[in-house]
Structure 1
Amino acid sequence: MTLQRRHLWLFAFSTLLLGACSGMRPTSEAPRPPVVFVHGNGDSAALWQSTMWRFESNGWPRERLHAIDVPYPLARDADNRPQAGRTSTAEHMAFLREEVQAVLKRTGAAQVVLVGNSRGGNAIRNFICNGGGQNLVSHAVLGGTPNHGVQAIPGVNEANEFSGTGPFLSQLNAPKNAQGDEVCGPAKWLTIRSDNNDKFAQPDGLWIGMKGKATNVTFAGPELKGATNVVIPRIDHRETSYSAAAFEATYRFITGRTPALDIQTEASVLLNGKVVGLGLNPIDAQSGNFVNNLPLAGASLDVYEIDPLTGQRKGAAVHQKTVGADGLWGPFKGTSQAAYEFVITAKGYATTHIYRSPFPRSSGIVHMKPERVAEADRSAAALVSFVRPRGYFDPPRDSMRLDGKTSLPGVPPGAGVASSKLRLDDKIQRTVAAEFNGERLVGLTWPMAEGRTTVLELTY
């Protein structure tokens, strides 16, 4: 049996086991349990968009799907030391607990399903095992969570929550019973990992700034003893949660059934979300910007319908709004056949032109942020960013193209980079296109001299 066939067999066999390991089988008569999605380090609720569409397409009520936005989503460098614009494990867990309690109150359900990516899984484990969530969660799904650390080198940054030898993960991984299980009952647990393509589950420290040094973490680092552990070949760190394959494994585990993977299209779509920005670190201005999910009040957003072949606007703006204290830029009613350009204007940022492929379904988590242009890029006539929020670019694995070229600037071999930046000398506005595994985006270049930049943002 070849290595590739063995990996495929492992995935197929694991998914067959999910039904036996799942105690919940919703029927048409029984209400579907509420699902709370928990994003990863530095991310936002927006990454769960396509996953939620797939749940909806399999009969899950939209009002029973809830993705949280951690205001400050980055972990502290040292969990035991306050750090501006970052959250500790205790703060992260407390925020999740409040969100779960709100969902239970709103839905009247007794329990929720928790689904987390990467750092989101840390908060889920902490909540269930240490934060009073043991009886509030029926199923816990962890995609790509570094359960045994991104590195497990004794004495190396052990105060960080991602240290496999540090106090946070050591107490979570301590045996819970005579069998040595690392999970807390009575919740049922699923982990999803890559066979070898997760940048944060690598035996070599290349992707964490320690090239050539052993991390003491294996490809199986995300697995937990006592959980159902599924391996999906060649998926990357984010795809452990946001891919169709990860959805299938998750759905099987929760329901014991095989889902349809196609996203069902709605004729008209209602879109909304937040405009968020980058904040200046109030303690150390030299440290630059920190990631947050806070509303960018005062920003303005315009929406234009565009020609999907050229990126040219079809007319005047179809939606305009100045963002208020809640950060919301909608609601905007559009169609699933149309392609749109979103233009964000905000003080201190470049005017950002975001191009997306058509939205097949409604969504309230279409979050967007304007760009800040690096000093080194200001000399370009035009700047185009090609981004994949729900996964990484992997040149040996993926079929991709940007402005006619198959080699993406700044994207090395291996699934570790989610954006590519193209600097252009063209002073005349023109069409620019990008493709990734069948998804195609088309937009226009905009003059950097006017403080404008283009973002081609993939949905899948």
Structure 2
Amino acid sequence: MMMQRRLLLVIAAAGLALAGCATSPTHEQHPPIVFVHGNGDTAALWQTTVWRFESNGWPRERLHAIDLPYPLARDDDGKAQPGRTSTADHMAFLKSEVDKVLQATGARQVVLVGNSRGGNAIRNYIYNGGGAARVSHAVLGGTPNHGVWATKGFREANEFSGTGPFLTGLNAPKNAAGDEVTGPVKWLTLRSDNNDKFAQPDGLWIGAKGTPTNVTFDGPALKGATNVVLPRVDHRETSYSPAAFEATYRFITGKNPQTLAIQPEAPIVLNGKIAGLGLTPTDPASGNYSNNLPLPGAQLMVYATDPATGARIGNAVHTKTVGTDGLWGPFTAQAGVSYEFAIQATGYATTHIYRSPFPRSSKFVNFRADRLAEADKAAKSSVTLNRPRGYFDAQRDRMMFDGKAALPGVPPEGAGVSASKLNLTQEGMRPIAAEFNGEKITGQTWPVSGNHVVVLELTY
């Protein structure tokens, strides 16, 4: 176990220690918070976290989530790679976003909250990009601060190498005590006890089962920070779960949140961005790189659906051809109503995304148009159950997909898979349902022969 200056805490016992870490702001002085997503992800993953801050009185205009245009890290941080960003690129983008937020709010400092790779950018910005004077608190959820692997001579040019120059530079002692972080910024790390796929002693989740990673469960902890353990959460839940919100809120304010529940509001106004895959949507050689670039010309149609069958109820309630900003809204949703979001774009399959009802407004309802994978083209219908804000854990979660508790592609133990795909062999359209820990979504199957793909996307 890594030596730490402050006591390592489990979440059940964190209250008193965290309450002393920061002073509580008045209602008028809620600091702006900038949320930084992880590798390959989007600002949309912070949706429920933002809702919880809003439900506790945080002004909406002081909650900002960034969208890194190319969110995937390079294989070699020092070498240009199409569709990828370096640590320097990531830091520069974060710096520009922080500057925008400070200018818009008139605040002197921001709070930075990052998941996984987002924490790398936060640390780099604070120590190497001039961010120390602009940041009051830094919260790192599941950030692989000591690497996903730490093996001499193995992929050390990658930013996730614990023995590589990027992380060893960030982890260099900051004082005589050997702390890896120092003030004036206040630091919090959030980690899982043993269920983070990127903080494992075995290389299973990096394709090297049986090979030691030389990284332990406490790899995300930092000497000199307040380090909190959240039992059984997975890699993404170190940031996006109710427990992560509770610890973050307490660290920033010095007090417990009034509620962990997401409070409903009316009217419910939704907006977000439609992005695609690859470098250009019509170039098959560009690969399926995740990106957060707008997809101009994409058409979105929104339909209210029957929650029991997934069938459309009447005509589209909202349609838009997106422009250069990629925004598909605003759209005023009805409370308690489930929706289908159908996306059409050149070079993509018609993508049918089904969502459960929205409780609150959000500008982070981002979508990606999808393509049919070669392996799916023989199916009659291809349906993916997607959990963006966490992973599926067969030992922990109550799950059902098309009437079966065993989800395709989800292992019997461990939390490392966030999507499960069913390729159906039956002709025709029919309802298809999924349930995850009480959240239920029902959609419709659509024919692969017509270049359709279906996504049941969980919110929680």
**Deviation, structure 1 residue 447:** 1.0
Q: Which moved more, 1:328-337 or 1:94-103?
A: 328-337
Correspondence 1:123-202 to 2 at 5 A: 123-202=121-200
Contact 2:382 2:448 in 1 (8 A): yes
SS at match of 2:364: coil
One-letter code aligned to 2:367: M
For 2:95 and 2:349, locate their aligned partners in 1 and report how far apart those are by CA, in whole Å. 37
Instruction: Give the alignment partner of residue 74 of structure 1, picking from 62, 72, 75.
Output: 72
Q: Deviations for 1:206-231, whole angstroms, at most 9, x for unmatched residues?
A: 10111111111000000000100000
Aligned residue pairs total: 450
Quote the residue 2:295 is aligned against: 296
Q: Which residue of 2 aligns with 1:3?
A: none
Partners of 1:391 and 1:451 lie apart in 2 by 28
The CA deviation at 1:289 is 2.2
Instruction: Provide structure 2 residue ranges, at least 5 long, that are not aligned to the other structure.
Output: 1-7
Per the TM alignment, residue 287 of structure 1 is displaced from its structure 2 partner at its CA by: 6.4
Runs of 4+ off more than 6 Å: none
Identity over aligned pairs, percent: 69
Q: Which residue in the other structure is 1:343 paired with?
A: 342
Supply the AA of the counterpart residue of 1:358: P
1:297 aligned partner, one-letter code: P
CA distance in 2, matches of 1:354, 1:406: 22
Residue number in structure 2 paired with 1:452: 452
Counterpart code for 1:169: L
User: Match of 1:397?
Assistant: 396
Partner of residue 5, structure 2? none
Using the alignment, how far apart are the partners of 1:201 and 1:441 within structure 2?
A: 31
Matched with 1:50 is: 48
> C-alpha displacement at 1:80, in angstroms?
0.8
Displacement of 1:27: 2.2
Instruction: Specify the SS of the correspondent of 2:314.
Output: coil
Preserved CA contact (<8 Å) 1:128 1:184: no
Q: Structure 1 residues 375 and 327 mapped into 2: Cα distance closer, same or farther (>3 Å)? A: same
Distance 1:72 1:184 in 2: 30
User: How far off its partner does 1:288 sit?
Assistant: 2.0
Measure, in 1, the Cα distance between the counterparts of 2:286 and 2:452.
Answer: 25
Amino acid corresponding to residue 398 of structure 1 in structure 2: D
Change (3 A) 1:17 1:292: same
Secondary structure of 2:367's counterpart equals coil
User: What is the CA distance between 1:311 and its match in structure 2?
Assistant: 0.9
Match in the other structure for 1:10: 10
Inter-partner Cα distance in structure 2 for 1:153 and 1:376: 35
Q: Which residue of 2 aligns with 1:418?
A: 418
- Aligned residue in 2 for 1:115: 113
Residue 440 (str. 1) matches residue 440 (str. 2): yes
Kept after mapping to 1: 8 A contact 2:113/2:138: yes
Rounded to whole Å, the distance in 2 between the matches of 1:120 and 1:15 is: 25
The residue correspondences of 1:78-97 to structure 2 (distance < 5 A) are 78-97=76-95
Q: Which moved more, 1:307-316 or 1:107-116?
A: 307-316
CA distance in 2, matches of 1:168, 1:258: 35
Do 1:14 and 1:229's aligned partners in 2 also have CA atoms closer than 8 Å? no
1:373 equivalenced with 2:367 (yes/no): no
* TM-aligned CA deviation for residue 281 of structure 1: 7.5
Letter of the aligned partner of 1:96 in structure 2? L
* CA distance in structure 2 between the aligned counterparts of 1:341 and 1:285, rounded to whole angstroms: 27
* Equivalent residue number for residue 3 of structure 2: none
Aligned to 2:4: none
List aligned pairs for 1:167-316, cutoff 5 A: 167-259=165-257, 260-280=259-279, 286=285, 288-316=287-315
Distance in structure 2 (CA, Å) of the matches to 1:59 and 1:414: 36
CA deviations on 1:181-210 (whole Å, 9 max, x unpaired) are 101320000000000000000000110111
Unaligned stretches of 5+ residues in structure 1:
1-7
- 1:285 is displaced (CA, Å) by 6.6
Secondary structure, counterpart of 2:114 in structure 1: strand
1:13 Cα deviation after fit: 1.8
1:41 partner amino acid: N
CA distance in 1, matches of 2:316, 2:287: 34
Query: Does the 8 A contact of 1:183 with 1:227 survive in 2?
Result: yes
Alignment partners' CA distance in 2, 1:9 and 1:251: 16
Could you list the per-position Cα deviations for residues 113-137 of structure 1 after superposition, in whole angstroms to 9, with x for gaps in the alignment? Answer: 0000000000000000110000110
Structure 2 CA distance for aligned equivalents of residues 35 and 197 of structure 1: 27
Query: Is the 8 Å Cα contact of residues 134 and 184 (structure 1) preserved in structure 2?
Result: no
Q: When the two structures are superposed, what TM-score results if normalisation uses the length of structure 1?
A: 0.96
Q: Which amino acid aligns with 1:289?
A: N
Equivalent residues of 1:281, 1:289 under 8 A apart: no
CA RMSD of superposed structures (Å): 1.4
Q: Distance in 2 between matches of 1:316 and 1:10?
A: 51
Structure 2 SS opposite 1:126:
helix
- Alpha-carbon separation, structure 2, partners of 1:403 and 1:446: 15
Change (3 A) 1:440 1:179: same
In structure 1, C-alpha distance between the alignment counterparts of 2:284 and 2:323, rounded to whole Å: 26
**Deviation of the 1:454 alpha carbon:** 1.2
1:355 maps onto 2:354 in alignment: yes
Distance 1:177 1:452 in 2: 57
Report the Cα distance in structure 1 between the residues aligned to 2:79 and 2:266, rounded to whole angstroms: 50
Tell me which residue corresponds to 1:4.
Answer: none
* 2:371–2:453 Cα contact (<8 Å) kept: no
Q: Quote the offset at 1:14 in angstroms.
A: 2.5
> What is the TM-score normalised by the length of structure 2?
0.96
For 2:99, the aligned partner's letter is Q
Q: Distance in 2 between matches of 1:309 and 1:348?
A: 32
Quote how far apart the aligned CAs of 1:147 are: 0.1
Query: Amino acid of the residue matched to residue 339 of structure 1?
Result: S
Q: Output the CA distance in 1 between the equivalents of 2:31 and 2:9.
A: 30
